[in-house]
Amino acid sequence: MFDRSLLVVSGKGGVGKSAITAALCILAARRGLSVLAIAMTDDLGLGSHLGVDRLGYRPQEIRPGVNALTIDRSQALDEYIRLQLHAPRIAPLGPVARGLNALADAVPGIRDIITIGKVLFEAGKPQWDIVIADAPPLGQITSYLRAPVTIAGLVPVGRVRDQALRYEEELGNPDHTGLVLVVTPEELPVVETNEARGEIASLVDIAAILTNRVLDPLGVSEETLTGMPAGPHRDAGLLHRGLYDAQRRWSAEIPDGPDIPFLFGVHTPGEVAVLIADSIGGTR
Amino acid sequence: MTRAVLITGGGGVGKTTIAAALGVAAAEAGHRTLVLTVDPARRLATALGLEKLGNHPEPNPGLHGLFAAMLDSAASWDAIAYRHAPEEVADRLVTNPLFEAVANRFPSGQAYAAAEEMAVHLESGQWDVVVVDTPPASGGIDFFEAPSRMRDLVGGRLLRWLTGARLPGRRGLFNLAGRPALRLGDALLGGPLLEQVAEFLFDLRTTYDGITAKAGVIERHFAAAATVVVSTADPGPLREALRFHEVGIEPALVVFNRALPDEWAEPAEPLDDGRAAAALNENLARWALEVRRQEDARADFSGRVGTAMVTIPWLADAPTDLEGLRAVFAGAPELTLEGVGI
């Protein structure tokens, strides 16, 4: 998984995407890679799982081998115009950037291409062995992945179009980019992941589907439990069995991939990421 | 007077289930009740008597007085265009590919469409109670900010940039030569695209007065509604729940879903007979860790926010019928209709 230049991590909201992004970064750094973690839209989750309050727009080393940044759209836009499109410095960028910022609300794909463009721009830098991006949730991810195609379709000629075609190629190249889908074995995450998989796979290679918060079997039969006197042992056993059975039903609907165990009683986001890294690292 | 209850919170915390359970309880207390939901799990939709997407309220076959509608945001956008623009302009708008793109991707769009739909039902005079399951966008906050974002979108900020300070007529919308910023935009994106956008925004601009007025009405509905923030004791949902407090929205109630019984964390006499004893002792011990984590998270939360809180027990199987929804409400004695102003 870590031999690609870019891993994009997505999944339905609430399944633990940011924790797993942070864990993958920690794991890659443990293997000696120089890692850049990117929060594509919201830095709170990724930042706290990496043990810092906020992330900045400039890469910042937050643990050995792991740098991190968050994408600030107006700065990314500025950088996109100047560095990627080599815009002439004819006028202060202020009004242009403000205008394009407003345009991003109305023209499909502009906001998205600036964000995904920044991610691909960083992935192309020799200083990073791998870039791992905490991407928007399932409902929005295809819009980002599709942005280069959308823009190339809207803009007939020019630098924006050329750049968009290059992005499209890099996203579609499985040696360059992989998408990691995170799912929990519950109804909505599984159903929505399966609905989105086909469209996602047409845009980017799905490197792995990770199942998060997986429970172990209890090892005690339902008959034994229901025959016991009432009390916390019985109730906790019945809840565990019930949850485990429901998880089994839903995980049967998704392809096999690494399972990440349910973490009992873990308090801080930082601990979660390290424990997940240990768990994935140990199984591979 | 129709009572509005807004159920909000991060993704995956069980908002829809709680909205449905409150709806069932309200209907059983004799209130004519509408549950407005967005994309529920299939089996829960069936429990609500919803077979298909549609803004039209469907009566529940199993419970008199309970109705549900599933918001179709694409249809809602068309409705917004026809509600706020002259018919010929609306015809042009709904067939414009940019309009569809905005409808699909403007982050506050779905939320605004849902809010307008909510307002229609609140003002219809047909309901005693309307329970709104807010769209899942960024943690439900979007729903509350949607009216002002929408006002900005149609307010012509971009149109003014494209056309200069004064709004021109439809002809000569767009004056490249006079505007250096536009010359650069043109070099990057090509004139036809900008011109197309300007035309689209010009049409969209006609909805401004209507949407501004409506956004104000929606904000007053929000202020009068009882807001229920749903969370679990997990960090992500808790962060979303705290954001309501940070932006000054005071919920009537915070609901902690998937709560474990506190007594699991109390010292228990270990089981010592039977093969299963060791496994069950170990199982209780690890769930007790989870109980303590939940207790700490709730204590931390209530230390920051003074709102009333209720817990709802963790169920192994999500409710899929009216019986299950009644059980959710019955299983949480602190959750009352009075608590949400019904």
pLDDT digits (tens, 9 = 90+) for B268-292: 888 887 778 999 999 999 999 999 9
Euclidean distance between CA atoms B319 and B43, whole angstroms: 8
Q: What is the mean pLDDT of residues B49-61?
A: 81
In tens, the pLDDT along A19-49 reads 999 999 999 999 999 999 999 988 888 999 9
Q: Is the ipTM of this complex over 0.90?
A: no
Do the Cβ atoms of A20 and A147 come closer than 8 Å?
A: no
Taking the CA of residue A208 and the nearest CA in chain B, the distance in Å comes to 22
Q: Are B45 and B175 in contact (CB under 8 A)?
A: no
Whether the per-residue pLDDT at B51 is higher than 70: the answer is: yes
State the CB neighbour count (10 A cutoff) for residue A237: 26
DSSP assignment of A220-235: S-HHHHHTSPSSHHHH
Test A13 with B12 for CB contact under 8 angstroms. yes
Q: End-to-end CA distance of chain B, in Å?
A: 11
Domain ranges of chain A: 6-215+256-281
CB atoms B10 and A13 under 8 Å:
yes
DSSP annotation of A82 reads I
Q: A143–B287: do the CB atoms touch at under 8 Å?
A: no
pTM of this prediction? 0.87
| Residue in B162, B192, B289 closest to A264 by CB | B289
Q: Which of A93-102, B78-87, B247-256, B316-325 has the lowest mean pLDDT?
A: A93-102
The DSSP bridge partners found for residue A67 are A36, A61
Q: How far apart are CA A276 and CA A20, in angstroms?
A: 7
Give the pLDDT band of residue B156 (cuts 50, 70, 90).
Answer: low
Residue B341 gets which letter from DSSP?
A: T
Interface test with B, best of A114, A141, A188, A271 (most B CBs within 10 A): A188
- Give the containing element (helix H, strand E) for B58: strand B54-59
Query: Each residue of A156-184: pLDDT tens digit?
Result: 667 778 888 999 999 999 999 999 999 99
Write out chain B residues lying below 8 Å of A240, CB-based: 283, 287
- A180-194, A229-243, B186-200, B272-286, range with the lowest pLDDT: B186-200
Q: Give the helix ranges, DSSP H, for chain A.
A: 17-30, 43-49, 73-79, 93-106, 110-123, 138-154, 159-172, 187-201, 222-226, 232-251, 269-283
| Mean of all residue pLDDT scores within chain B | 84
The pLDDT tens digits of the residues spanning A83-111 come to 766 665 545 556 666 666 666 666 667 77
Long-range contacts of A195-203 (CB under 8 A, 24+ apart): A196/A138, A196/A141, A196/A142, A199/A142, A200/A10, A200/A141, A200/A142, A200/A145, A203/A142, A203/A145, A203/A146, A203/A149, A203/A171, A203/A172
Q: Is the pLDDT of residue B165 over 60?
A: no
What tens digit of pLDDT does each residue of A111-149 get?
788 899 999 999 999 999 999 999 998 878 988 998 898
Q: How many CB pairs below 8 A link A and B?
A: 171
How confident is residue A190, by pLDDT bands cut at 50, 70 and 90? very high
All residues of chain B having their beta carbon less than 8 Å from the beta carbon of residue A238 are 316
> What pLDDT sits at residue A200?
96
Q: Compare all CA atoms of chain A with the CA of B274 and give the residue at the minimum distance.
A: A224
Q: Taking CB atoms and an 8 Å cutoff, what residues of chain B touch A53?
A: none
pLDDT at B203: 83
By Cβ distance, the residue of A90, A187, A272 closest to B41 is A187
Minimal Cβ distance to B153: which of A88, A95, A105: A105
pLDDT at B135: 74
How far is A3 from chain B, CA to nearest CA, in Å? 30
Task: Tell me phi and psi for residue A9, to 5 degrees.
Answer: -110, 125
Of A225, A234, A236, the CB nearest to B287: A236
Q: Which of A18, A87, A109 minimises the CB distance to B184? A: A87
Place of tokens 């007939």: A156
Q: Among all residues of chain A, which has the CA nearest to that of B196? A: A107
User: Minimal CA–CA distance to A189: which of A19, A10, A41?
Assistant: A10
Residue A66: alpha-carbon gap to chain centroid? 16
**In B157-263, where do the E strands start and end?**
226-231, 253-259
Domain A6-215+256-281 has CATH 3.40.50.300: yes
Please, what is the end-to-end C-alpha distance for chain A in angstroms? 11
3-state secondary structure of B69: strand
> Does the beta-carbon distance from A239 to B314 stay under 8 Å?
yes
B29–chain A nearest CA distance, Å: 30
B149 to chain A, closest Cα gap in Å: 10
Which of B271, B286, B290 minimises the CB distance to A233? Answer: B271
